[in-house]
Chain A
């Protein structure tokens, strides 16, 4: 029983990682007042770029670099549309999602001719699992051993990056000048403008942060969790991340717990497939798979109290004519 739990938690961590990266990515953008429903598209674009680059060069690091670059490029497109040209943020986000779905499939087929996949990765082409020191030695110690060697140890680098990004984001947001301005510009850009700070440049920096983290998230999918890019491999994770972000009221630490919760549901769903649940019997796979989505709807429908978004979110900044 304990071992089963450890296994579920272990896979929770793996499944929560891309959500966490994407949700933190969204946090930067949305806290600055730029809504971003294009997390999904940026992740997908990054996953493809990372998979392709890693396959061609044989280096996971090259994959990571490519993933981040592509995600930043897409983030800048969003920024150009919404910040510079004051376009509608939702429309731009949707456009980026479509663009990513179409381009990754098209380029994937054109370049690799494997039905939209990138060639399978192996060896240095992937981020492999890292064994923390003494993980093997402690394996047989009761409780702690299991927790340490199974749960904490044995993940790939990007998992640790994701969880490290939580305190880093908190620190950036609440302990640095950039963070103060970022939070301010999402609430009242006019206050930032009158303080003599460029709203535009500040928001661009925020979406670049979003791009970087989305890049890591996408890379995780194709180069760490799987061994190559598969068509549409994000499968709505960008939207779940967005839900987690709202659920967590745009705060870094709660974002982590929200992502872990969604990850846990996912892990439990996988674990429960084909199993008899006492009193209910075998639950159809589809019902279990739908569970995270149902929970999202239920949670967002009011279980968490009102999630108040950054006040200036979704609105392009225009100097008021007096």
Chain B
């Protein structure tokens, strides 16, 4: 390679207990390039970047920055070497202003006054140089995520970063916001900065990177010039075999309506209406996808239908039984008795008790089922047997029903929840973000299961912020924006059109 290297990693090794997260990793990143690192969840990408940022220490190996071997003892050292990081979960203090967040750790003296004035000037300059405009006095929690991310980038640039690491930066962005981010990254590269982009979205890699390295199970398996590779090749390298990015399925043959939602309105915890007058129906044998940028009421809609969130007005009909939820609230258990099953969006918070064993989680919410016990006593033997059957059927690994669920990977945890809900033979399945934090192999499995459920004549209501997932699975797509359903489209609809709907463009045009 002729271009000078910004970063060179040689033989990086890192263990967490018995897990070897990084195995003998070599990586070369050219100065002034955008270098992508792809891999499934748990492939060791984030660990590697955390080592580079001084968050963890490698057990073995060498790091060279600008050709010189360095030791990065902590984040402060990384910052001093000109390495900045934009974390997947933003490292921002939510009730601080943009300015306070930017100067935190780089205040420039024991008193704030001088540093604040200097930071204000620097921010103004950076905003102009890199098209990174943010109001310095805005409070973080009032800003949309796209802007919060900009603050993270500004934080790194303010500290003089020449090498910028971005960890899954587009997970929370709308397509338009992601495009804007990419424009910013290109400007940064053209100004001579080096960008390391960690992602599991191949489309982004193809769209923006100059070079791409693929990680699989802690190993660096390949580095390619982006122009000379394809999504298919990268996907294969990531999982070690060819995967279907498309889901194979026959056209749907919808039957009777199994879920009808009429004029549903619900509030969030702050008392603001976040689901507004939503009506739609799901028929037997079809998957209805709800697309939207997260935070537009989809989560609350699912919760309202599932009986977890109080409903202000509106009714829900499940398989012919009409429930006026506003007048007679129904709890989640009753909803289940009506034939509704729910795979919640956040499996850690609502789907599982992670400190419980697999078999205990396998009956959560169904523990009153006479198959699992008599009166107040649980029949542990029967429960474990049922759990083992599900483990077998859903290929849950490791196949150990006594293991605490916290010990399973994201994909296997999701399979535990999915198995629990699907195996109760519901009429309608609500499923939120079924593949969030799930690796490609498991994604494929989960998608197949959902299609199989549909083909068995059940209704599926799918909420996902992954547009690709919605388009691959759904038979009809509803787009939610600002608490309302703003449109229904066929899944084949052009992505940019869906993107515009998701960004509320239709509504603005109507006003």
Contacts from A to B (Cβ < 8 Å): 174-181, 183-184, 187-188, 190-197, 311, 319, 321-322
- In angstroms, Cα B96 to Cα A180, docked, is 9
Q: Are B47 and A195 in contact (CB under 8 A)?
A: no
Query: CB of B364 within 8 A of chain A?
Result: no
Query: CB of B110 within 8 A of chain A?
Result: yes
Q: Are B111 and A195 in contact (CB under 8 A)?
A: no
Residue of A nearest to B155 (CB): A195
What residues of A have a CB within 8 angstroms of the CB of B101 in the complex?
Answer: 191
Q: Are B94 and A311 in contact (CB under 8 A)?
A: yes
Q: Are A194 and B100 in contact (CB under 8 A)?
A: no
Q: Are A187 and B96 in contact (CB under 8 A)?
A: yes
Q: Are B55 and A194 in contact (CB under 8 A)?
A: yes
Chain B proximity of A39: nearest CB distance (Å): 24
Q: Are B93 and A177 in contact (CB under 8 A)?
A: no
Chain A proximity of B67: nearest CB distance (Å): 23
Q: Are B112 and A188 in contact (CB under 8 A)?
A: no
Chain A proximity of B184: nearest CB distance (Å): 20
Chain A proximity of B278: nearest CB distance (Å): 29
- In angstroms, Cα B107 to Cα A192, docked, is 12
Q: Are A196 and B74 in contact (CB under 8 A)?
A: yes
The count of residues in chain B whose C-beta lies closer than 8 Å to any C-beta of chain A is 37
* Contact A192/B96 with A175-B111, A177-B112 known, Cβ cut-off 8 Å: no
Q: A187-B93, A191-B91, A191-B104 are in contact. List 8 more A-B contacts (CB 8 A).
A: A184-B93, A184-B96, A191-B92, A191-B101, A195-B155, A196-B75, A196-B105, A319-B56
> Can you list 9 contacts pairing A with B, beta carbon distance less than 8 Å?
A176-B112, A180-B112, A181-B105, A187-B94, A188-B92, A194-B85, A196-B54, A196-B77, A322-B46
Query: CB of B450 within 8 A of chain A?
Result: no
B5-40 with Cβ < 8 A to chain A: 16
What 0/1 readout, one digit per residue, does chain B (76-111) give for beta carbons within 8 Å of chain A?
A: 111100000101010111111000110111110111
* Contact A194/B96 with A177-B107, A177-B109, A181-B104 known, Cβ cut-off 8 Å: no
What 0/1 readout, one digit per residue, does chain B (184-207) give for beta carbons within 8 Å of chain A?
A: 000000000000000000000000
Q: Are A177 and B111 in contact (CB under 8 A)?
A: yes
Q: Are A195 and B106 in contact (CB under 8 A)?
A: yes
Query: CB of B113 within 8 A of chain A?
Result: yes
What residues of A have a CB within 8 angstroms of the CB of B78 in the complex?
Answer: 196
Query: CB of B361 within 8 A of chain A?
Result: no
- In angstroms, Cα B93 to Cα A4, docked, is 48
What residues of B have a CB within 8 angstroms of the CB of A192 in the complex?
Answer: 104-105
- In angstroms, Cα B76 to Cα A129, docked, is 50
Chain A proximity of B350: nearest CB distance (Å): 21
What residues of B have a CB within 8 angstroms of the CB of A321 in the complex?
Answer: 16
- In angstroms, Cα B78 to Cα A194, docked, is 10
Q: CB within 8 A of B47: which of A188, A196, A322?
A: A322
Most buried by A among B47, B77, B92: B92
Q: Are A180 and B103 in contact (CB under 8 A)?
A: yes
Residue of A nearest to B50 (CB): A322
Residue of A nearest to B106 (CB): A195
